[in-house]
Structure 1
Amino acid sequence: MANPPSYSEEYLRQTQQPVIYGICSALIVTETLAVVLRIVSKVVGRLRWGIDDLFIALGLLINLAINTCAIVDAKYGGVGLHEARVLQINPGMLNVWGHMIIIIPILYLAAVVPPKLVLLHLYLSIFTQKAFRRSCYGVAVVVLTNWFANTIAAFLSCQPLSFYWTQEGHCFDVNQFFRWGSFANIVTDVVMLILPMPSILELQISLRLKLGILVTFILGSLGLITSIVRFYEFYVTNAEVDGTWSGATLDLWSAVEPGIYLITACIPSYRPLIRFFQKRNKGSVPSMPSDPGSSVGGLHSRSSPAYEMSTGRRFKRLGSYKGMEEDVVGLVDVGVHHSRPEAGKITVDREFHVRRD
C-alpha cells in the first residue's frame, strides 16, 4: 500500500484566506456605497424611479450573497488553504466547500445580469434610433439566454449534484464549464461598449462634452476588463486539483467581476450629484447671457427657458448656459434633415427633441 504524500510545514502553513476576507469585505462596502450614492444622486436630481433601480437592488443583493458565501467558504470550507491542511484540521470542512463550489457559480451567473440590463436600459432611455434599440434588445436576449442556459448546465454538471461534496457519481468537465460559461460576458461587453459610440460621435455638441459622455460610457464598461481577467484566471486554474487552494482564485474572481459590473452600472447616474457639489462649491449658478451675440446656439437646462423672443421683428438666438451644457444634452436626440427648402417657406435643418423627466 502506497504511503500518503508528505508535505512540508511551510507548504501546509500557506494561506490565501486573509486576501479573501479583505477583498470580499471591501467589495461589500464599495458595492453598498455605490448603490447608496446612486440613490442620493437620483434624489438630488429629482429623477424618476424605474425598473433599472429594481435591477440595481437585485444586483446588490446577489453580490452581497456572493461575498458572504466566499467568506463562509474560507472560514468553514477551508478555501484558501491546501486540501492536505484542511484534512488535518477538519475533513468535514470539505462538505461545506463542496456545497459552495456549486452555489457561488450559480450566484455569479445571476449577479452579472442586472448591471448589464441597467446599462441597456440607460441606452434605451437616451437613444431613439430603431436599429440601435433593436441591437439593445438583442443584447438583452443574449444576456438572459446565457444566464438561463448556464444555470441549467450548472445544475446538470454532476449527477447527482451531491457529487461535489460526497464524491459519489459522475460529472462532465467542470473546468471547461467554469472557463467557457462566462465567455458570453466578454462578447456582450464588447458589443455594449461599441454600440453607443456612433450615436455619441454624431451629437452636435462641444468636443469637451462629447469626450465627457464617451468617458462615462467607457467607465460603464469597465466590467469588460475584469471579465477578461476572470476568464484568464479560470483558464489557467485547475479546479479539480487541490480544490480548496484553487477555489480561492475561483471564489475571488466570481465575486470581483459582478461587483465591478454593479459599481460601473451606478456611475452614469452620479451626474446630478456631481453637479450639486459643483454648484455648492461655486456658490452660485451662472446667469443667462443677455447679449444675443454671445450665445452659441446651445440648449438650456430644464431650470432655464429654452429660448427667448423679443416683441419686435427680430428674434433672439437660442442662448447658452455656460458651464451647464451637460445638464441638457444628455437626453437629446438630434435629427438632421437634408431636404431642399421650398419656395416661400422657412426650413429648419436641425430638430432637437428634449425629454423632460
Structure 2
Amino acid sequence: MAETLNPEALSSLSPEYLAEDYHEIWWRWNVALTVIVTVIYILFVISRLFFARYNGWEVWTLYPLSYVSCIGLCILYFLAVARGGAGKHLVYWEIHNPKIIPIYLKLQTASEFLYMLDVSLPKVCIIILYLRIFTERWIRLITKIVLGIVISNYVAIGIIAVLVVCRPFAYKWDKTIDGHCSDLMNSYRYTSLPNIITDVAILILPFPMLYKLQVSPARKFGIFLTLLTGSLGLITAIARFVEYLKPDWMTDPMYAGNKPIILGIIEAHTYFICSCLPEMRPLARGIYRKFKPHKVKEFPYNSGPSFRPVGSNSYGSSVGNIHGNHKTSISALRGQHDDYSKGFEIPAVIQLDKTVHVNYSQKRALPRDMV
C-alpha cells in the first residue's frame, strides 16, 4: 500500500481516474444478499418449525449464528461504503481525506474474522447432517475427520492468521507506527485453498451411502440433488481463488479489490444458503402435497366399516407390526350395483390372501425429512 504521494505522479492522474467509483456495485450486492439470505432463513425456520418431524440442536444454535454472521458481514461492507470510502481509488482519499483510509482498513480486518466464520459454520451444519444420516463406521470416521479439518482451519486461518499477519496488529490500518506485515495477497490465496479442499470432501462424502441406499433410482437421485446443494459453495470458492491469483491489488484495495471482495461476500452467503436448502425439504414436500392433484378412487362395492376385517385398513390389508410373517389380504365386498338389473351375479366376497415375511432393518435408514 502506498504510504506517501509523489507530486509528479499526482499531476499525471486525470480527473476521470480520480472520479472512478464502484461503491454502487458494493451497495447493490450487499442489499441483494441481505434480502436473499433473510428470505432463505425465514423459509428455513418455517420448514423446521412447522413441517419437520425432528430438529437437531444445530437448527436453533448454529444456523441462527450463521445467519447473524452473514448479516454482520453485510453490515460491515455497508459501513465500508458509507464510512470507509470503498469503491474509490486509494489515492483519491489520500488527496481529499486521508482519515478515511484507516476506517476502511479496520472494517476490512473485521470482515476477515466474519468471513471465515461465515464459510465454516454452514459446513459444520452440513457435516452434522451427514453424521445423522451415515451409518457405516468408516464413512462416519472420515466425516468426523473432515469436521475436525473445518474447525481447525477456522481457528488457524480465521483467528490466528488474521491476528499475526501484521505485527503489531494495529499496523494493518495504522502505518504511522513501526511494524510490518507478511504478504497479504498470499495469505488471502492460501485461505481459499483449504475451503476448496473441504468443499470437495463434502461433495464426495455422500456417494458411498447413496450407492448402498435401497431406494428407487429416482428417489436416490433426488436425495443426491438435495445433498449436492450443500456443496455449491465450491463454485464461488474457486472463482474467488482464481481472482486472488491475479496481480497484487493491495496497493489500491478500496478500488482494485472490488471484484475479489464482492466474490468473497457472495461465497460466504452462498455457503449459508446451501446449508439451508437440504433442511428445507420438509417445506417443499408439504407444499407439493398441498397443491398436487389428488386422484379420486371410486369403489363400486360397499366397503363401509361394518365389513372391514379386524386389524385391517379400509382396503382390507392387514396392518400392525411390520416385523415378521404377516398375512395380507385384499377384499371386494358385495353391495348395490347397476349390473344387478342385467342379471350379472356378483359374489359376496372375493378375497386374495398371501403370507409375506417383512424384514425391516434400520441400517442405512435416512431421516424421514430426507426421504
1:206 aligns with 2:211: no
Partner of 2:8: 3
Specify the code of the residue in structure 2 equivalent to 1:49: N
What stretches of structure 2 of length at least 5 have no aligned partner?
A: 1-5, 300-313, 330-355
Please give the per-residue CA displacement for 1:233-278, whole angstroms capped at 9, x wherever unaligned: 1221524211211232343122111100000100011111112111
Instruction: Measure the CA separation in 1 of the matches of 2:296 and 2:277.
Output: 26
**Against the structure 1 CA distance between its residues 274 and 348, is the aligned structure 2 distance closer, same or farther, given a 3 Å change threshold?**
closer
Instruction: Measure the CA separation in 2 of the matches of 1:33 and 1:286.
Output: 36
2:230 to 216, 220, 224: 220
> Does the CA-based 8 Å contact 1:31-1:60 persist in structure 2?
yes
Q: How many positions carry a matched residue from both structures? A: 311
Specify the code of the residue in structure 1 equivalent to 2:151: L
The CA RMSD over aligned residues, in Å, is 2.8
Q: Which runs of 4+ in 1 moved over 4 A?
A: 283-287, 346-350, 352-357
**Against the structure 1 CA distance between its residues 237 and 19, is the aligned structure 2 distance closer, same or farther, given a 3 Å change threshold?**
farther
Instruction: Measure the CA separation in 2 of the matches of 1:106 and 1:234.
Output: 18
Give SS of 2:277's match.
Answer: helix
Partner of 1:264: 274
- How much identity, in percent, do the aligned residues show? 29
2:21 to 9, 15, 18: 15
Structure (1 or 2) with the larger CA radius of gyration: 2
Following superposition, the deviation at residue 180 of structure 1 comes to 0.6
Partner of 2:160: 152
Please give the per-residue CA displacement for 1:21-61, whole angstroms capped at 9, x wherever unaligned: 01111111111111111110112224333232111111111
Instruction: Measure the CA separation in 1 of the matches of 2:190 and 2:262.
Output: 17
> Which deviates more, 265-274 or 233-242?
233-242
TM-score, length-scaled by structure 2? 0.77
2:328 to 300, 305, 316: 316
Please give the per-residue CA displacement for 1:264-311, whole angstroms capped at 9, x wherever unaligned: 100011111112111221365888x9xxxxxxxxxxxxxx9xx8459x
Partner of 1:37: 43
Following superposition, the deviation at residue 11 of structure 1 comes to 1.4
TM-score, length-scaled by structure 1? 0.80
Specify the code of the residue in structure 1 equivalent to 2:128: H
1:93 aligns with 2:91: no
Specify the code of the residue in structure 2 equivalent to 1:78: G
> Does the CA-based 8 Å contact 2:250-2:257 persist in structure 1?
no
Give SS of 1:280's match.
Answer: helix
Give SS of 2:361's match.
Answer: strand
Instruction: Measure the CA separation in 1 of the matches of 2:53 and 2:357.
Output: 35
> Does the CA-based 8 Å contact 1:81-1:244 persist in structure 2?
yes
Please give the per-residue CA displacement for 1:46-78, whole angstroms capped at 9, x wherever unaligned: 433323211111111111111111121122111
1:253 aligns with 2:263: yes
> Does the CA-based 8 Å contact 1:16-1:81 persist in structure 2?
yes
2:246 to 230, 236, 240: 236
**Against the structure 1 CA distance between its residues 356 and 271, is the aligned structure 2 distance closer, same or farther, given a 3 Å change threshold?**
closer
Instruction: Measure the CA separation in 2 of the matches of 1:163 and 1:211.
Output: 52
**Against the structure 1 CA distance between its residues 66 and 237, is the aligned structure 2 distance closer, same or farther, given a 3 Å change threshold?**
farther
